[in-house]
């Protein structure tokens, strides 16, 4: 893939199926419902910053491919739920993004480390910003 995230060619095997099942279990969403209309990607306020559009994330996970785990997209998502209200199939895509983040966080991957933040800046930020950011970004 042009994204620099994929490491292996697609294989339809047990691993792929179990990855998809895990994402469905964590997100509580039926991924098969997605028919690739792209409404989530067009509504997403942050899609410009993403390496994989939300609709592409949906398609890859549908196929059991775990590429999205290594994308920037899941960390760029700000959980604004714009995709959730736009999806004509009623899929809560924000929860799928959360499931993907959780799979990384539970492997002890941290996108943000507290010590990397500027202490002066931390003093100015509202607590809700810091707590929510670390809830989403830190293992």
Partner 1 sequence: MSHRLAYYPGCTLKTNAINYEISAIASSKALGIELVELPRWNCCGTVHALARDDVMHYIAPVRNLIRVEQMRGSGLVDEGRLVTLCEMCYNTLRRADMGVKEDQERRRKLRDIMEEEPPYRGEVEVVHLLQLVKELGWGKVRERVERPLRGLRVAPYYGCLLLRPRGLAIDDYNNPTIMERLVESLGAEVVEIPFKAKCCGSYQTVHMSQVAAMLSHRILRQAMEGGADMITLACPLCEYNLGERQERIRGLFPDLKYLPVLYFTQLMALAFGLEGSAGLEFNNPDPRPLLRSKGLLGESRK
CB 25 within 8 A of CB 100: no
Number of residues engaging partner 1 in binding (CB under 8 A): 38
Q: Helices H, strands E: what count in the chain?
A: 8, 0
88 touches partner 1 by CB under 8 A: no
Q: Which of 28, 33, 35, 36 binds partner 1 (CB under 8 A)?
A: 28
Q: Which is nearer to partner 1, 10 or 110 (CB)?
A: 110
Q: Is 2 exposed, middle or buried (0-12, 13-18, 19+ CB in 10 A)?
A: exposed
Q: Which is nearer to partner 1, 44 or 60 (CB)?
A: 44
Stretch that binds partner 1, among 10-18, 22-30, 34-42, 56-64 (CB under 8 A): 22-30
Q: Which is nearer to partner 1, 56 or 136 (CB)?
A: 136
The 3-class SS string of 22-75 reads: HHHHHHCCCHHHCCCCCHHHHHCCCHHHCCCCHHHHHHHHHCCCCHHHHCCHHH
CB 88 within 8 A of CB 39: yes
Q: Give the x/- contact pattern for partner 1 in 35-74, rule: CB under 8 A.
A: ----------xx--x-------------------------
Positions that interact with partner 1 (CB under 8 A): 25-28, 45-46, 49, 76, 78-82, 84-85, 92, 94-95, 98-99, 102, 111-112, 116-117, 124-133, 135-137
């Amino acid at each position: 893939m042009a994204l620099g995230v994929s490491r292996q060619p697609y294989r339809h095997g047990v691993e792929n199926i179990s990855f998809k099942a895990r994402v469905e279990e964590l997100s509580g969403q039926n991924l098969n419902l997605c028919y690739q209309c792209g409404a989530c990607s067009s509504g997403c306020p942050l899609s410009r910053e993403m390496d994989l559009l939300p609709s592409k994330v949906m398609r890859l996970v549908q196929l059991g491919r775990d590429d999205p785990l290594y994308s920037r997209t899941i960390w760029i998502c700000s959980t604004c739920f714009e995709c959730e209200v736009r999806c004509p199939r009623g899929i809560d895509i924000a929860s799928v993004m959360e499931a993907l983040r959780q799979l990384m966080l539970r492997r002890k991957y941290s996108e943000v480390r507290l010590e990397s933040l500027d202490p002066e800046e931390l003093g100015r930020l509202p607590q809700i910003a810091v707590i929510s950011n670390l809830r989403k970004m830190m293992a």
